[in-house]
């Protein structure tokens, strides 16, 4: 018997993707066209040129892109390159180093925007996909899980140091150039802006939530974020058991320092006070107090409750605007 081998022009069948791959491929197809590689440069006073690069996500129909403040630095303009090979110049609309967020606007057409999601709905172990341009490699996709939620990331602007709270930790591989790129869930919604590599297998992303949405909106309109200032520093501290049971609150913020002549000092706060609430909302750390310190709090009375000498003490402080040297 003679065996006959026949050949044809039909392509071999492609094996169906497993569920995990289907999700990653779907997110990649949605977001890769919408995440740009950005390049910025500016001339220093000594004549040298400072250059930077990263990623940015188109998030409006009229050409606004979201990225990290540390990506744009002090640059005023740059170039965005998309996965289809098109490039477009952009100008920096606003930057906020204390949240590590920046908004730029393309001076030309951009792809349709990505959809912004809500990071507060994330769960540890949930699949996430990072889209960016690490090491200059455009359109790179990595996948992993939400490793932890509620992480804190110190940021600095001049002498001011702020803690960005509710930061997302992921094991999706991030490398230099990923900063400003998208961290997305299975639906393709962007729930974070990749910002830092904290170690092998540890990436961090600024969450998209109510606070950052307010910051982004303010940057789009005003170009900067005004912040309120009380003039206190503190650390989390447990409440006495009887008080904890009474208030149904486990921790407060122990005030360690009160700046002389600052609003907190003028209101009568003292080192050693245990700050319990601001405008009747529990304060459990410096981070929770910071949520009250955006621009709309400037000049507005802020009701504070502290525990002092075995008694609850109510005071009213009026925050002032945070200046560069405070």
Q: Which residues are catalytic?
A: 70, 100, 179
Structure tokens at 70: 């540390």
The residue count of the chain comes to: 326
How far the first Cα of the chain sits from its last, in Å, is 92
Structure tokens at 9: 């022009």
- Given a contact cutoff of 8 angstroms between Cβ atoms, the answer to whether 255 and 275 are in contact is yes
140: β partners:
132
Measured between alpha carbons, how far is 287 from 227 in angstroms, rounded to an integer? 14
In our burial notation (b when 16+ CB lie closer than 10 A, e otherwise), range 106-127 reads: beeebbebbebbebeebeeeeb
Return the beta strands (E) in 44-99 as ranges: 49-58, 64-67, 77-81, 87-96
* DSSP 8-state code for residue 33: G
* DSSP 8-state code for residue 139: T
């Amino acid at each position: 018997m003679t065996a006959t081998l026949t050949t044809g022009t039909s392509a071999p069948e492609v094996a169906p993707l497993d569920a995990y791959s289907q999700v990653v491929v779907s997110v990649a197809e949605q977001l890769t066209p919408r995440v740009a590689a950005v390049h910025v440069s500016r001339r220093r006073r000594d004549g040298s040129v400072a250059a930077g690069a990263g990623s940015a996500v188109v998030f409006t129909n009229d050409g606004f892109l979201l990225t990290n403040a540390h990506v744009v630095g002090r640059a005023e303009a740059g170039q965005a390159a998309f996965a289809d090979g098109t490039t477009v110049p952009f100008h920096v609309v606003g930057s906020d180093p204390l949240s590590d967020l920046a908004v730029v606007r393309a001076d030309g057409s951009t792809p349709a925007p990505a959809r912004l999601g809500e990071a507060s709905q994330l769960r540890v172990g949930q699949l996430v996909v990072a889209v960016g341009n690490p090491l200059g490699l455009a359109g790179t996709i990595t996948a992993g899980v939400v490793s932890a939620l509620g992480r804190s990331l110190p940021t600095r602007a001049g002498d001011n140091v702020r803690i960005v709270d509710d930061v997302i930790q992921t094991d999706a591989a991030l490398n230099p150039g990923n900063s400003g790129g998208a961290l997305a869930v299975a639906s393709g919604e962007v729930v974070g802006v990749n910002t830092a590599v904290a170690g092998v297998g540890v990436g961090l992303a600024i969450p998209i939530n109510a606070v950052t949405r307010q910051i982004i909106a303010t940057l789009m309109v005003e170009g900067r974020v005004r912040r309120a200032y009380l003039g206190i520093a503190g650390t989390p501290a447990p409440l006495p058991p009887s008080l904890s049971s009474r208030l149904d609150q486990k921790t407060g913020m122990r005030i360690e320092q009160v700046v002389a002549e600052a609003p907190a000092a003028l209101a009568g706060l003292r080192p050693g006070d245990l700050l319990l609430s601001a405008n009747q909302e529990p304060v459990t750390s410096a981070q929770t107090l910071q949520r009250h310190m955006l621009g709309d709090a400037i000049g507005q009375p802020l009701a504070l409750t502290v525990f002092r000498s075995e008694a609850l003490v109510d005071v009213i402080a009026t925050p002032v605007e945070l200046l560069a040297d405070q």
